[in-house]
Amino acid sequence: MSAPTLSPPLNAIPADIRNAQDYAALAPHFLPPSHLAYISGGSGYGHSVAANATAFGQWAITPRLLRDVGHGHTRITLAGEAYAHPLFLAPVGFHKLAHANGELDSARAADATDTCMIASTQSTFPLEEAVAQQRWFQLYLLPRRDDTLHLLRRAEAAGYRAIVLMLDAPIQVVNRRAQAAQFQMPAGCVNVNLRGYDTTPRFAGNGPGESRFFQGAMRGAPSWDDIRWIMRETKLPVWVKGVLHPDDAVALRDAGVSGIAVSNHGGRSLDGAPSGLDVLPAVRAAVGADFPLMYDGGILSGSDAFKALALGANAVAIGRLQLYALSVAGALGVAHMLKLLREELEICMAMAGCATVGEINGGALLRQTRRDAA
């Protein structure tokens, strides 16, 4: 299959788009193949990317009849803040790969749709510029604590309302699809937030008898001490992203984090990790009914979002689809994608008889035999 001819991004919503995931189908017409491979691929052979897709297909949504949902809405309150709907923009790096306006456009789209954007540390526009009305900041712990602290203070100063610590990718695993497509980060795609910081890893693990993983990357990986330090240093709610084991979730809750994002990092961390969706019910059971949980990984539709909410999440975050829509039509595309996604979620809620996000629960789902496409 030859690659499609590339189009420049549109200045209008493309005709014939009816579902949010149409943006995934359109993206190959707007993204260079190597960018597409980098964005859509996962680590290694993509086993965990595939696990996300498979996970949603295991569940059907049972419609209910005659429920009065005329007063229905999608509003949620999360860690004390109100949001118009539970669909967040996930922290995704390097938006300029998808569109010249990068994170600026994503933030505009968030505002147009009352969406909270979780800004990534790895941004091609400064965290002070690409600011959505509702914004959280995803913080990577840097090799030097003073750099981390400086970055944190900037985020606080820029009005971010929560900090999301990334714990789940201490080791970079090759994205084989990107590698096969000879992806290289373009010159213009620079992680501007980190300018002036020392990003040299503290540990190389290249001493005699050392492992570059155990004595290298993992010695520089976040620790309990780091988390407690961050929680002491900021008054903002601190979330942790990348949890896949119920015991880790309980320990983090007990350590005082404000919420947890159950996620396999979009299949971009350990290849072979399960889908977060498959562990979400166990995590919810472990942390109790009231502890805030977010889900991300593989959401392409309102029914996917509904399923994650039913299995225990309070909100969900949208990763790849965000960049796909950005590549197709910039801010307009992302806003349209979010609008469609919310409508799809509303349809599922309405037909499943759920007037509020809080009414969505496991009783709305039915585990089903694996089925083939129609």
265 is catalytic: yes
Map residues 20-59 to x or -, x wherever contact with a copy of itself holds by CB under 8 A: ---------------------xx-xxxxxxxx-xxx--x-
User: In this chain, which stretch among 102-110, 183-191, 267-275, 330-338 interacts with a copy of itself, using CB under 8 A?
Assistant: 267-275
Among 31, 127, 142, 279, binds a copy of itself (CB under 8 A): 279
Residue from 196, 40, 185 nearest 124 by CA: 185
Q: Determine if 348 is a binding residue for a copy of itself (CB under 8 A).
A: yes
| HEC per residue, 93-117 | CCHHHCCCCHHHHHHHHHHHCCCEE
> Which of positions 66-95 make contact with a copy of itself (CB under 8 A)?
66, 68-74
Residue from 298, 324, 331, 335 nearest 98 by CA: 324
Q: Which of 35, 85, 99, 265 is catalytic?
A: 265
C-alpha 127: how far from chain center: 17
Residue from 250, 247, 289, 245 nearest 263 by CA: 245
Pairing outcome for strands 163-166 and 238-243: parallel
Among 13, 185, 189, 355, binds a copy of itself (CB under 8 A): 355
Of 104 and 141, the one with the shorter C-beta distance to a copy of itself is: 141
Q: Determine if 296 is a binding residue for a copy of itself (CB under 8 A).
A: no
Q: Determine if 206 is a binding residue for a copy of itself (CB under 8 A).
A: no
Among 8, 18, 254, 288, binds a copy of itself (CB under 8 A): 18
Return all residues near 113 (Cβ < 8 A) that are at least 6 apart: 335, 338, 339, 342
Apex 80 CA angle, 291 and 362, nearest 5: 40
Q: How far is the CB of 44 from a copy of itself (least distance, A)?
A: 7
Are the beta carbons of 279 and 246 closer than 8 angstroms? yes
Q: How far is the CB of 77 from a copy of itself (least distance, A)?
A: 17
Catalytic residues: 265
